[in-house]
A and B are shown apart, each in its own frame.
Chain A
């Protein structure tokens, strides 16, 4: 079956520091990977969509300078949150396309102190 692993599951960082989160697709080739942030109110915000061999598309209010993403192959993607502040806290989700379906990992919960 198609599985998406995200790690770490939770992380705490000091305000102004950075942290990197990773996403691994197992059992399928993730031709596209979408990074979302889910707020405490459960709302999903799309950060960026990355398709192999194409430029990464960032949504309004999210930039490469703040959330650099790497998608080097069909099974792995990573995203860094640079200079994290309180407003960056939330559950960061990686959604990977199999070509017809989108599977999500369990997320990385970011707490900023």
Chain B
């Protein structure tokens, strides 16, 4: 059973627009939600994360909105740049070391100039 789901699988936006990537999860014990950015041939790089005690986390152009009741979260990338073109993974786990991190299947973002 897929613990973490992402939508859409792929998204194309114009440079300067806001890209919105969605994620939902099954396990109500999850309380740590990182987003990773992965370029071809590279490992996933931690972009931004949120814990379940917050409903919003912002870091520059990247913002996570979190809805615990609906078990949903989204990553908003404002003023999208061609360099943001990558695959984005939503992940979830319990908090703290030793917790198993479950990944979504990824969303491929293309930002057209």
Binding site for B on A (CB under 8 A): 4, 6, 31-32, 34, 42-44, 46, 49, 51, 54, 91, 93, 95, 97-107, 109
Contacts and interface: CB of A to CB of B under 8 A. Distances in A.
A4 to B, nearest CB: 8
Given A42-B87, A97-B97, A107-B42, 16 more contacts: A42-B106, A43-B105, A44-B103, A46-B100, A46-B102, A49-B98, A51-B98, A91-B43, A93-B44, A95-B101, A97-B99, A98-B97, A100-B32, A101-B34, A104-B46, A107-B43
Contact of A104 (B41, B43, B49, B87): B43
Residue with the highest number of chain B CB atoms closer than 10 Å, among A91, A102, A106 = A102
A52 B81 CA distance: 41
A54 B106 CA distance: 31
29 contacts: A6-B43, A32-B97, A32-B99, A34-B100, A34-B101, A43-B105, A44-B89, A44-B103, A46-B100, A46-B101, A46-B102, A49-B98, A91-B43, A95-B101, A99-B96, A99-B97, A100-B95, A101-B34, A101-B49, A102-B46, A102-B93, A102-B101, A104-B43, A104-B46, A105-B43, A106-B42, A106-B43, A107-B43, A109-B41
Interface residues of B, number: 26
Interface string B22-56: 00000000001010101001111110010000000
A106 B43 CA distance: 4
A51 B97 CA distance: 8
* A-side interface mostly: strand
A104 B43 CA distance: 6
B79 to A, nearest CB: 24
Contact of B34 (A32, A43, A102, A107): A102
A101 B46 contact: yes
B101 A42 contact: no
Contacts of B97: 31-32, 51, 97-99
B43 A31 contact: no
